[in-house]
Amino acid sequence: MAQYSYKKIVSIFEDAANAHQGVNTFGFGSIDYLDAKSQNVLYPYVFLRPLTSPGLNLSIRNLNFELYCIDVPTLANQEPIDIMNNMEQVLYDMISYFNTGPYQQEIGISLNNIIPTLEAFNDRAYGWVGNIVVQTDGAWNYCNFPN
């Protein structure tokens, strides 16, 4: 693994979402931001929400997130189950970007569980929320202390 700044980790998620043909918009922030911005995005939407994290333990840094992959029906007769199917795959694809893509030796990511989202945010959004842990190298190093 390698050391990456928090900002860089979020940037890599954004790069993965932008590279995915099944994603139109990426967002990051608190749950309030997700709800407020959900009306003004192009779906399918991938949103990264930071959670309480254990931080640095010895030389491994763990960061916890929720990764939302959601979409809204484009046709009046489009079935929510079709959206759920597609968004589940997008969630797995996002994880795969780290585990089998360009960062496979540098960043560890695990998907602990997925939770369905049904008619979320008053705009009939359907999809999944994945609870993920991102692991990178970390170090307690006084040499990095600003003087």
pLDDT in tens, 82-118: 999 999 999 999 999 999 998 888 999 999 999 999 8
Beta carbons of 131 and 113 less than 8 angstroms apart: yes
pLDDT in tens, 3-61: 889 999 999 999 999 999 999 999 999 988 877 666 678 999 999 999 999 888 888 99
Output the pLDDT for position 144. 67
Radius of gyration of the chain (CA): 16
Q: At 123, is the pLDDT very low, low, confident or very high (cuts 50, 70, 90)?
A: low
Domain 6-144 -> CATH class: alpha beta
Beta carbons of 22 and 82 less than 8 angstroms apart: no
E-only strand ranges, 38-107: 45-50, 55-57, 60-71
For the entire predicted model, the pTM comes to 0.89
Output the pLDDT for position 109. 95
